[in-house]
Every structure is written in structure tokens, then in C-alpha cells.
């Protein structure tokens, strides 16, 4: 999963409070992309290869395009800004969607993170429950 930097918000933010977010994990609580186990408590991004943005602590490629900075982040802990967006993404998995669930997490206060229109990426998340959330009625 890669995170695309929003040209209107190209810089990392710092959480001024715990920020609710949503993850897609397998029914066995493994990450959807890297098969890393998710557990109750504080999760930290494990994979840091090249640090291009020292302050943020994981790779960022920024390209100036049309007077806006854009790029992508391929590492860190990716999450969705809303439960609805997480369920939409599960729907896009097609026949495999029965193998996944949505859980609620928090980006802890004081954590640096990026945000675009539908996702967050941060170096840590707090997980308080691995219980599957239910889809809200449309």
C-alpha cells in the first residue's frame, strides 16, 4: 500500500490529540500487505530502509509538480481517515473481502503523521481492540 502525498498538505503534521483511524487487517489480525501481526497496544513501524526525510523517520519521495509537492510513502503504518473509507477499500478487494476486517486505532498524541483525503501514514499506532467493526448503513 502506498500513501500519496497531497500537494496541498505536503508536510508532516504532529498529532495534537489522539487521532482515531481505521486499519484493514485479516481475520487472523495480520496486516493486509506485509503479513505482520497486529496486537493490542502500541505498534511501531518496523521497516525503515532509507531515511530521506530525517524528521519523519521513514522514506518520502517529494516531487515538485505544478508548484505543489507530491510523492509517495511506501513504509510506515497506513490507516484510513474514516470507517466508511476503510470499508470501501475492503469492497475493492472483491472476492477476498471476507478474509478481512476493519479495526479502530489511534495515532497517539505527539506523533508525526501525513494525511491526504482518505488516509494517514504514521510511524506508530495504538490498538485498543482487535474486534471487527460493523459497516454503517448507507
pLDDT per position as a tens digit, 28-52: 998 877 778 889 999 887 654 333 3
Q: Which residue has the cell 467493526?
A: 133
Q: What average pLDDT does this structure show over 104-121?
A: 90
- Its pTM stands at 0.77
Q: With a cut of 80, say whether residue 18 has pLDDT above it.
A: yes
In three-state form (DSSP H/G/I as H, E/B as E, the rest C), the secondary structure along 65-117 is ECCEEEEEECCCEEEECCHHHHHHHHHCCHHHHHHEEEEEEEECCCCEEEECC
Amino acid at each position: 500500500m502506498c500513501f500519496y502525498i497531497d500537494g496541498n498538505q505536503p508536510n508532516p503534521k504532529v498529532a495534537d490529540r489522539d487521532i482515531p483511524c481505521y486499519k484493514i487487517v485479516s481475520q487472523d489480525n495480520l496486516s493486509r500487505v506485509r503479513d505482520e501481526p497486529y496486537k493490542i497496544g502500541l505498534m511501531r513501524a518496523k521497516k525503515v530502509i532509507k531515511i530521506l526525510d530525517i524528521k519523519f523517520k521513514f522514506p518520502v519521495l517529494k516531487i515538485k509538480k505544478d508548484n505543489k509537492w507530491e510523492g509517495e510513502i511506501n513504509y510506515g503504518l497506513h490507516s484510513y481517515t474514516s470507517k466508511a473509507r476503510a470499508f470501501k477499500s475492503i469492497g475493492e478487494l472483491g472476492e477476498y473481502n471476507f478474509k478481512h476486517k476493519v479495526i479502530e486505532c489511534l495515532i497517539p498524541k505527539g506523533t508525526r503523521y501525513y494525511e491526504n483525503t482518505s488516509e494517514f501514514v504514521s510511524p506508530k499506532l495504538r490498538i485498543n481492540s482487535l474486534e471487527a467493526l460493523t459497516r454503517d448503513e448507507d
